[in-house]
Structure 1
Amino acid sequence: MDVVVTEVPERHRFEARLNGSLAGHVEYARLGGKILLTHTEVDGAFEGKGVGGELARTALDSARANGLVVRPLCPFVAGWIRRHPDYVALVDPIDRMRVMAAAKVAD
């Protein structure tokens, strides 16, 4: 099953659909050249199917394509970035130490 993620700017979020059903979303706020990823939610029926990961990846890829600096305020997105270090360069320096330090604490 393919997760399809689309941006819904009027709702300030990216939405994930699986087989046409809304499976989850990641909320954001844009401030100048930054995007704050504030909350990720996946419907319980779709947990463990890669929905959260696709939401994070799509939001981060969009930020990269649009030249935005990322503030991963959502713990899920911050954790996803820790596991995918090729996205760390997108993270605002103010958050980078916090995001990466959590990985050392978890080890």
Structure 2
Amino acid sequence: METFEVVLNETGRGELRLLSDAVQAGKMDIFIRNGVLTVYHTEVDPIHEGKGFAKLLLEELVRKARAEILLIKPLCPYVHAQFKKYPEAYADVWLKTEK
């Protein structure tokens, strides 16, 4: 069974962890400050590749952002690619930055 936990330090940096049968199978490196949830990196343990765990992490990240009324700044290439591919699905939580 897959579960999630968020572990943050006192500055708001940390991880969204995906646990499979109580063992960490993947994570997203995150930072939360001033209503913005920045995601830097998504990683899934190689033994769990191909199981859709990156997508599960993304779904939980978005669920958390919606529940806590946060905007997501997708610096992670995977998350950014998913946001660009499905912009309508993430429009309410996507913090687009000007370049």
User: TM-score range with shorter-chain normalisation?
Assistant: 0.7 to 0.9
Note if contact 1:3-1:54 (Cα within 8 Å) is conserved in structure 2: no
Moved over 3 A (4+): 82-85
- SS of residue matched to 1:6: strand
The structural deviation recorded for 1:64 is 1.0
Other-structure match for 2:89 = 86
Q: What is the root-mean-square deviation of aligned Cα atoms in Å?
A: 1.9
Deviates more, 1:9-18 or 1:59-68: 9-18
State TM-score, norm by structure 1.
0.77
Q: 1:81 to 1:43 in 2, by over 3 A?
A: same
- SS of residue matched to 2:83: helix
What do residues 19-59 of structure 1 show as CA deviations (whole Å, max 9, x unaligned)?
22210100111121111011111100001111111111111
Larger relative helix fraction? 1
Larger relative strand fraction? 2
Using the aligned pairs only, state the percent identity. 26
- SS of residue matched to 2:92: helix
Other-structure match for 1:27 = 29
Letter in 2 for 1:27: D
1:1-107 to 2 correspondence within 5 Å? 2-10=1-9, 12-84=14-86, 85-94=88-97
State TM-score, norm by structure 2.
0.83
